[in-house]
Structure 1
């Protein structure tokens, strides 16, 4: 399923989303952005889908914004969702980036827009926008200093130089390093592990983690209490407790 440039495949309860422009190193143009937005709608709209994995074909995750398309007036943004239809999207379900090869500029920002990053050992990450007179406006300048120490984030943002997967792992940006060609398999395995957990709880974790950023601690706990009150009223919480008491796997219904 999907468009010509973005394909989707259901693997169990995971939606695999693949950018398929190998001739353009999976750079993001208007068609890719629209395709990614549609794929994310598919993920969010189907209760049977519990997690998503984002990857690219041809040994490259994404080279970022398609500069040639941009010069011709194409926008790689989707209204209300930002670059690639992803970086400003309000997603409730976990999304994992499976990175092979280059994740440059907007490609790196797509990965930063995911909840987990799995990278092959030969992957590289970079934000070279300053070399083109731009800034990493797809979340790079905003998110990177929140994920790693300020001075290290500024080195990547101000020099525009890429880092290896091993360096990204040392900085705390990457969850898993795999042999070349195995990032997708490990990402799918992680998605399967995540999908065993309660969908309402997963969504609540994402909302709390996202919305608590920058809040005073007292306000963050108030936000968390609101989320917890919704969860404790759900059938899934009772199911989780009952399943634990009965020593069986829970059967989540998402309510």
Structure 2
């Protein structure tokens, strides 16, 4: 893939995605969204990729969100052709990614940067990371999912307080409110994300995908309706080789050989 603003690597079933505009605090402009669309398409299509870790270049920012300077400099020329089909960073409006995604937040995650993290399944934060939706302070709003996802992650009054003031919260505060899974020293950020990825990969990749699909699709339903709903990957799972391999490996007291099939 010909990528100018994103680093994309694959190792040991893990896709490493790095937002690579440190000179702009990894703020994203339309060409970034287009590149990220391609990255997520590739991640989903590659059967050897089981988990993604997304982070930002450097130690200052995960992503400062929308590149407002680029927007000001290019006002009037942004067309639909420059907008990512999957929303901000190709992920905030994309709901078909059933593979797990870990956000390794290495600094400021503000505006669209926080929206990217909220669209992930697990968030690991460096101790100096900060989170916020400051869009109202520049006459905008967190329209790439932030105003909807944040109140679904934390208590409503806390979410409203953050959104209506645009204030930041620390990594520890985000962890206390349940937005962040773990807070670590910067040097341990990627190793910790890799540890989480390794623990995920101890499970059947198809089981993980089926679990994510059912959990996310059932969020807006009553428990009764969610349980009764048909999920494509659940059906595929119980007809899969992994569903045979798991109990067999357990009975033989060995590690399972997952194939995702």
TM-score (norm 2): 0.92
Give the Cα separation in 2 of the matches to 1:111 and 1:193. Answer: 20
2:249 maps to: 243
Of the structure 1 ranges 226-235 and 130-139, higher mean CA displacement relative to structure 2 is found in 226-235
**Deviating 4+ runs (over 3 angstroms):** 73-77, 224-230
Give the Cα separation in 2 of the matches to 1:2 and 1:101. Answer: 27
Give the Cα separation in 2 of the matches to 1:238 and 1:220. Answer: 26
Unaligned stretches of 5+ residues in structure 1: none
Is contact 1:2-1:8 (8 Å) kept?
no
Is contact 1:17-1:55 (8 Å) kept?
yes
Question: Any residues of structure 2 matched to 1:1-255 within 5 Å, and which?
Answer: 3-59=3-59, 60-71=61-72, 72=74, 73-74=77-78, 77-79=83-85, 81-89=86-94, 90-223=96-229, 228-255=234-261
Is contact 1:198-1:236 (8 Å) kept?
yes
Change (3 A) 1:53 1:2: farther
Deviations along 1:124-178, one digit per CA (max 9) or x if unpaired, are 0010011112111111111011111111111111110000000000000001100
Is contact 2:209-2:233 (8 Å) kept?
no
Give the superposed CA RMSD: 1.6
**Residue 128 of structure 2 aligns to a residue in which SS?**
coil
Is contact 2:206-2:233 (8 Å) kept?
no
Give the Cα separation in 1 of the matches to 2:122 and 2:2. Answer: 23
Give the Cα separation in 1 of the matches to 2:93 and 2:146. Answer: 12
Give the Cα separation in 1 of the matches to 2:233 and 2:252. Answer: 26
TM-score (norm 1): 0.94
Change (3 A) 1:42 1:227: closer
Change (3 A) 1:47 1:211: same
Give the Cα separation in 2 of the matches to 1:2 and 1:110. Answer: 22
What is the Cα deviation at residue 82 of structure 1? 1.0
Change (3 A) 1:161 1:188: same
Deviations along 1:23-82, one digit per CA (max 9) or x if unpaired, are 111001112112222221221111111100000012110000011222314477412x11
Change (3 A) 1:15 1:225: closer
